[in-house]
Every structure is written in structure tokens, then in C-alpha cells.
Amino acid sequence: MANVKARVKTPSSAKKGEVFEVKSLISHNMESGQRKDKKGNKIPRQIINKFVCTYNGNEVFSSDWHGAVSANPYLAFHVKAVDSGTLDLTWTDDSGAVFNKTAKITVT
Amino acid sequence: MRNIYMGVLGVAALTAGSIGPVFAADWGKYEVEDRRSGYTYAAKETRDIQDDDFENPAMIWVDDGSNLWNQVEGEAGKSCASCHNDADVSMKTAGAEYPKHSAKTGKMQNLEQRINQCREDNMKAKPFKWESSQMLAMTAFVRHQAKDQPVNVKIDGPAAPFFEKGKAFFEERRGQLDMSCKNCHEDNAGNMARANLLSEGQSNGFPTYRLKWQKAGSLHRRFRGCNSNVRATPFGYGSDEYVNLELYVAWRGRGLPVEAPAVRN
């Protein structure tokens, strides 16, 4: 998938026990599988079908996406601050391609 | 008879019942005299996406544009930055002032054309295709530097005859539906056409991320779409007709803030 870009926005620090918001955006065409090309052949479906976020290796958020999902999807979710460390966001699409972005958080 | 074609849009579109925004809100900078930006015709959720630089998917094109700005390309070994230095200084008003009359070509020149002229003449690089991701990135980036600047195009002097052509195009009926830009965007702004709320057709937000396109797109792409919608043969990207129309449409939006890249439906 050419030119897939992901971005993440989190607060740089949070107090232990505090709930903070993680915002994510990925650019992806999300080919629906319903379109046909000029010759009448169906353009195969290629969408992101799974999103997972781990926090210091522990899965804190996971989502299965299906047909009709938005192109260039924005996803925001909340996480409870436990320890300082890394949030690892992974998007997987139908072709098996994996897109990844990390963010660091300091927990005081 | 024109009435037959009017019927296609349905009676609801052109008679009573202006289903514009319910609140007579104070639109601030998005409203100047009797002109309103497309921002004011969009749903709140759409406006929120535009207002958040992180959530606005078109900002990805702006980011790409800022990388392209610094990228050396072409036989002259230059990047945009080589001559124009920091875009947020040198491009502060460009996005609000194009199309401009070009002494070189003797006709109006819009931003895409100016960029390609720079690429070919000064960078000795290949021009970008009009609707390519690079050109969209470049125009989104350059226009974005003029964000919130009031649209301010010159229509006097050498631009005057082209302005008149653009105005004539805007008012001329065309296509199987025999409709002009004016019929929807002036006579019926604020009314519904089928399920769409008609805006004034302003250009201050282009290049725009249209939710319908699910990507950023140029003004000429929109012109082509509009012409196709009334079953008229669209003109080409960068055609004289569209560049002149672009000048007129920009003038119609004079004073409105540049919103590139906007989010519309």
C-alpha cells in the first residue's frame, strides 16, 4: 500500500491512575471491494481489518474493522496510566501489511 | 423547455423551505458581508474535523508538501526552499492571491500552474500531474501557509478581461440539465438539491478533503464534477475556462479566510 502514514497523539506525561486519551490517524484508501475498474473487473477489497494497541507489551485496546470502514480513519480511545513506557499501535490490512507507530508516556 | 430539466432536481429543491443552518449563528471570520464560507454550510461534526489539525486527514497532504518543499529535484539541483526559504514567510499570502495574471503567458495563472512553471523553468524538474498526490500535497502546503489570510485576488488591470470571462462562465447555462453555476450557488445557496445542502460554491478551502472523495482534491476536480453533474462535458484540468472561472470564484469569496485544507462533504 503506497504512502500509508500513521500518526499518534498522546500526552507526554500523566499521573499514575489517571485516564488519558490516545488519538490516532492513519491514511489508507480502504478499498471496499465493491468498486469495478474500467474493464468491469472488481477491484479487490483491501481494508485495515485490525487495530491493536499495547501498553508496555500488554494489550489495552483492540478493534476488528469490517467493510464500509472509513478511509483515513481517526480513532481515539482512553487508557489508564500505569507505568512509564511505550504505547505501540498496530494496524493490519487485508494484504497482511502491518503499519506501526509508537508513542512514549511518562507516568509520575 | 427548461421546466422539464428543472423537474429533475425536484420541486423541493427550488421552491420554499430553505433548510440552511437552523441557528442564525455568528460565523465570525467565516462570514464577510453577504458571503459565507462552505464551512458554515457543513455539519458540526465536519467542522470539528477541519478544526483539529490532528484529525483533519488533509493535513497528511500538508505534511507531505512540507517534505516536498525541501526536496531537491530536477537538473538544476534545487528545492523550493533553495529560492523560497521558509514557506511560512515567503508563502504567507500566495494562497490568498492566486490566480494571478502572468506576464509570461499573457493569461491568468493559478497556483498549480505557477508551481509547475517554477519546477520546469527554475528547477528543471518534471511538472506534477494536476491531481497527483504530489501536486495536491504542494498546493495544500502552500495554501496552508496563508491560512486565515483573507482571499484577495486582483481583478483589475490585465486580469480584467479574464475576470469577465470567468463571470460569464459562472452565469452561462450548460449541459443536458441546462444549468449554470449561478443557478445552484447563487440563486439557491442554502436550499436543498436532492439530499445536499447547496453552499455558495466558495473556493477558499481548496484543496479540500471531501468526505465523498475520501481524499484531498483540487478545485478543478470539483469544477469537473459540477459540470458532469449537470451533464455537461467537463473542461480539462488547468484549462483556460477553469482558470478564469477560478479567478471569478475566488473574487466571489473575497475577504473569506483561506481554510486550506478544508474538510467538506
Is residue B164 over pLDDT 60? yes
Across the range B159-179, mean pLDDT stands at 97
Interface mutation target, options B45, B59, B60, chain A, most CBs of A under 10 Å: B60
Residue A40 placed within a domain? no
Residue B213 pLDDT grade (very low, low, confident, very high; cuts 50, 70, 90): very high
- CB contact under 8 Å between A3 and B54, yes or no, is no
**Confidence at residue B54, expressed as pLDDT on a 0 to 100 scale:** 93
Across the range A40-47, mean pLDDT stands at 94
Q: For chain B, what percent of residues have pLDDT higher than 90?
A: 89
- CB contact under 8 Å between B57 and A9, yes or no, is no
- CB contact under 8 Å between B49 and A71, yes or no, is no
What DSSP state is assigned to residue B238?
A: T
Separation of first and last alpha carbons in chain B: 32
Residue A35 placed within a domain? no
Q: For chain B, what percent of residues have pLDDT higher than 70?
A: 91
- CB contact under 8 Å between B55 and A74, yes or no, is yes
The question of ipTM being above 0.90 is answered as no
What kind and span of H or E run contains A23? strand A19-26
Owning domain of residue A58: 6-30+46-107
3-state SS assignment for residue B54: coil
Note the pLDDT tens digit of each residue in B67-87. 999 999 999 999 999 999 999
CA distance A5 to chain B (A): 8
Q: What is the CATH number of the domain that holds A50?
A: 2.60.40.10
A71 vs B55, B133, B214: nearest CB: B214
Residue A1 placed within a domain? no
DSSP sequence for B74-139: TTTTB-HHHHH--HHHHTTTHHHH-SEE-TTTSSEE-HHHHHHHIIIIIS--PPPPTTSHHHHHHH
Q: Label residue A66 left, alpha or beta by phi (over 0 means left) and psi (-120 to 50 means alpha).
A: beta
**Confidence at residue B23, expressed as pLDDT on a 0 to 100 scale:** 52
Is residue A3 over pLDDT 60? yes
- Mean pLDDT in chain B? 91
Residue A22 placed within a domain? yes
DSSP sequence for B147-190: TTPBP----SGGGHHHHHHHHHHHH--BTTTTB-HHHHHTTSTT
- CB contact under 8 Å between B214 and A74, yes or no, is no
B63 in contact with chain A, both atoms CB, cutoff 8 A: yes
Note the pLDDT tens digit of each residue in B93-128. 999 999 999 999 999 999 999 999 999 999 999 999
3-state SS assignment for residue B2: helix
Whole-angstrom CA distances from B256 to A64, B38, B51, B52, B77 are 42, 10, 16, 19, 38
- CB contact under 8 Å between B54 and A5, yes or no, is no
CA distance B192 to B196: 5
B214 vs A3, A72, A74: nearest CB: A72
Residue B171 φ then ψ, to 5°: -95, -5
CA distance B115 to B63: 17
- CB contact under 8 Å between B215 and A23, yes or no, is no
CA distance A2 to A45: 15
User: In CATH terms, are B32-53+151-264 and B59-144 the same topology?
Assistant: yes
Note the pLDDT tens digit of each residue in B4-36. 545 445 444 444 444 444 455 689 999 999 999
Contacts of B55 in chain A (CB under 8 A): 23, 25, 74
Sequence ranges of the domains in chain B = 32-53+151-264, 59-144
What is the three-state SS of A63-94? Answer: EECCCCCCCCCEEEEEEECCCCEEEEEEEEEC
Residue A97 placed within a domain? yes
> Domain B32-53+151-264: which topology?
Cytochrome Bc1 Complex; Chain D, domain 2 (1.10.760)
Contacts of A5 in chain B (CB under 8 A): 60, 63
Residue B133 pLDDT grade (very low, low, confident, very high; cuts 50, 70, 90): very high
Residue B214 pLDDT grade (very low, low, confident, very high; cuts 50, 70, 90): very high
Does residue B247 contact residue B145 with C-beta atoms inside 8 Å? no
B226 included as an active-site residue: yes
- CB contact under 8 Å between A23 and B63, yes or no, is no
CA distance A2 to chain B (A): 11
Say which residue, A39 or B6, is predicted with more confidence. Answer: A39
B86 in contact with chain A, both atoms CB, cutoff 8 A: no
Residue B3 pLDDT grade (very low, low, confident, very high; cuts 50, 70, 90): low
Of A32, A37, A35, the residue nearest A49 (C-alpha): A32
What DSSP state is assigned to residue B235?
A: P
CATH architecture of B59-144: Orthogonal Bundle (1.10)
User: What are A's interface residues with B at a Cβ cutoff of 8 A?
Assistant: 3, 5, 7, 9, 23, 25, 27, 29-30, 70-72, 74
Interface mutation target, options A4, A7, A29, A72, chain B, most CBs of B under 10 Å: A72
Does residue B49 contact residue B58 with C-beta atoms inside 8 Å? no
CA distance B208 to A73: 17
Residue A76 placed within a domain? yes
Contacts of B160 (CB under 8 A, 6+ apart): none
Is residue B207 over pLDDT 90? yes
**Confidence at residue B26, expressed as pLDDT on a 0 to 100 scale:** 87
